[in-house]
Structure 1
Amino acid sequence: MSWGWQKILQLSETIRPYIRQKIGDGKNTFIWSDNWCDQSPLSRLITPRDIYMAGFSRMDRVADMVIVRNWIWPAAWYDLFHVLINIQVWKEVRMFTDLEHIEGNWENIVLFLVSRGNWNSSNTIIDRLEIGATSYYVWQERNARIFNSTKRSPKQISALILDNVRMKLVSLRKKKVFANWITRKGWDLEQIEDKDG
């Protein structure tokens, strides 16, 4: 191996955080080794042995790990690798906000919210409710798994978050201001109002 290649390989871990992989359809992005999410590369968290024992390959792509918009991680991995829960919950929850294009990185989320400027706009209020509920329920789930040995699936956590935000939206005084946005994003407020009477 030439001296130049040796130097490049030595630098690879240093420059890795600055190189991002554009996911697109996920067919060109390696799930374990590419820098495609905040926790990447996942090979730092999940050993090759765990990967093979779960029936996966080191050559799997992001597209191979998602079926009908759901991750196919083994259920036991959510206990072993808590960071996977954050990925799944955030992907499900952000569809209902204007944060669909933001990765699950707190720095990116905060920068996006600050750059919006108007803290009283309906979009910003809903995004803040969503972020607050997400951080609360993910932290609550983490503590429940550590201290109580109880666990909920990412779908259950996402449903709790969305229900929490729906209830807050129903209780807002300016409900009519949010009506257009709510309809566009698919929030089902009538269902909740009917339950409450």
Structure 2
Amino acid sequence: MFLFRRTLVGAGESYLISGLQLEFFWSDIGNGEKTSLWFDRWCDLCPLSSYVSPRQMNQEGLSIFSTISEVVHDSSWDWPEAWRDDIPVLYQLRPLRLNPYKSDEIKWRNEDGSLESFSTRLAWNALRSRGQETSWHNLIWSSVSIPRHAFMSWLIFRRKLSTQDRIQVWNLASGSLNLMCCLLCYKDVESHNHLFFECSYSNQIWCSLRSKGGMSHIQGKWDDIATWLIPRATSKSARVVIAKLLMATIAYYIWQERNARFFKNQLRPPEKVEKLIVNRIRLKLHSLKFKMNDRVRRILDDWKIASEDVRMDD
């Protein structure tokens, strides 16, 4: 995920990610023998090299290679007296108690100032940008999702697919106003709302399969389906799991069919796409664990899956 590079800046060790120095790597001081006095981060004023020049260091018997252990004695700072007036900030540092039996360690500093052993999770949480949590995230991201189908659903919720209505907006800048109709029904303008599932082609597929997910009463509109599923999204019941799989899988194959027509001029009747969807979900159901009861058995029978063919949840 990240490329780490440890380099020597002057005498102090610095940690870089993607070429940028970060403030997250701090020294957890033990005996102070491995931590650069001037260049490493170990207090809020660091790096101290911003206050003390190499010339000043040399004048007082120190160097750019000095470590913390050289200026801490009996838990007190032993700064040159000449710096008291010239560099008063050094005398504001809190006393530091060294542990002769513990080595210094580089750790990750959290936002609250605590130090932890580094992990990619800590780095990711600190560096990533955070958006507002959506109401539908549990609907598409879960352990039972088919990853490529979940990603497609994410694009649909965010209206990021390259549908013709979006392409038209891009073409306005070039002066082209050509707009293609839906390649599935050859009627209305292609848009997210139309494809999922107001188009007569995609709606036929939805209406044919929706009962298998317990959604016979839900009309073929993406927002209506999502509105019904979102409050149930965290449920682990077989019916809800299948309903989520069904919504995402139908959407995936509808977009796949659209692209086959757009780029390859290959057409398939809706009945054939329905079989592909059913087979893909049946394959996924074989990999899931269910707590078996009469209701679950009836659901599996509807998918032509024998209860003995699936894993039981203890």
TM-score after normalising by structure 1: 0.52
The aligned amino acid for 1:84 is S
Given the alignment of the two structures, is residue 131 of structure 1 paired with residue 247 of structure 2, yes or no? yes
**Contact conserved, 1:79 with 1:145, CA < 8 A, in 2?**
no
Which runs of at least 4 in structure 1 moved beyond 6 Å after TM superposition?
A: none
Given the alignment of the two structures, is residue 88 of structure 1 paired with residue 194 of structure 2, yes or no? no
**Greater strand share, structure number:** 2
The aligned amino acid for 2:267 is K
Q: How does 1:79-158 map to 2 (within 5 A)?
A: 80-81=186-187, 83-116=199-232, 118-158=234-274
Q: Quote how far apart the aligned CAs of 1:155 are.
A: 0.4
Q: CA RMSD in A?
A: 2.1
What secondary structure, in the 3-state scheme, does the structure 2 residue paired with 1:80 have? coil
- Count of matched residue pairs: 113
Given the alignment of the two structures, is residue 181 of structure 1 paired with residue 287 of structure 2, yes or no? no
Q: Quote how far apart the aligned CAs of 1:180 are.
A: 3.4
Q: Distance in 1 between matches of 2:270 and 2:261?
A: 13
**Greater helix share, structure number:** 1
**Contact conserved, 1:96 with 1:187, CA < 8 A, in 2?**
yes
For residues 169-188 of structure 1, what are the alpha-carbon distances to aligned partners after superposition, in whole Å with 9 as ceiling and x for unaligned?
111122736323223xx211
Q: Quote how far apart the aligned CAs of 1:95 are.
A: 2.3
Q: Distance in 2 between matches of 1:142 and 1:117?
A: 28
Q: How does 1:1-197 map to 2 (within 5 A)?
A: 78=184, 80-81=186-187, 83-116=199-232, 118-174=234-290, 176=292, 178-183=296-301, 186-190=302-306
For residues 142-182 of structure 1, what are the alpha-carbon distances to aligned partners after superposition, in whole Å with 9 as ceiling and x for unaligned?
11011110011010011111111111111112273632322
* Structure 2 unmatched runs, 5+: 1-182, 188-194, 310-314
**Contact conserved, 1:134 with 1:161, CA < 8 A, in 2?**
yes
Ranked by relative contact order (alpha carbons within 8 Å, sequence separation 6 or more), the top structure is 1
Q: Which has the larger radius of gyration?
A: 2
For residues 43-96 of structure 1, what are the alpha-carbon distances to aligned partners after superposition, in whole Å with 9 as ceiling and x for unaligned?
xxxxxxxxxxxxxxxxxxxxxxxxxxxxxxxxxx94523722111111111121
* Structure 1 unmatched runs, 5+: 1-76
Identity of paired residues, percent? Answer: 30
TM-score after normalising by structure 2: 0.33
For residues 94-114 of structure 1, what are the alpha-carbon distances to aligned partners after superposition, in whole Å with 9 as ceiling and x for unaligned?
121211110111111111012
The aligned amino acid for 1:80 is Y
Q: Quote how far apart the aligned CAs of 1:117 are.
A: 5.7
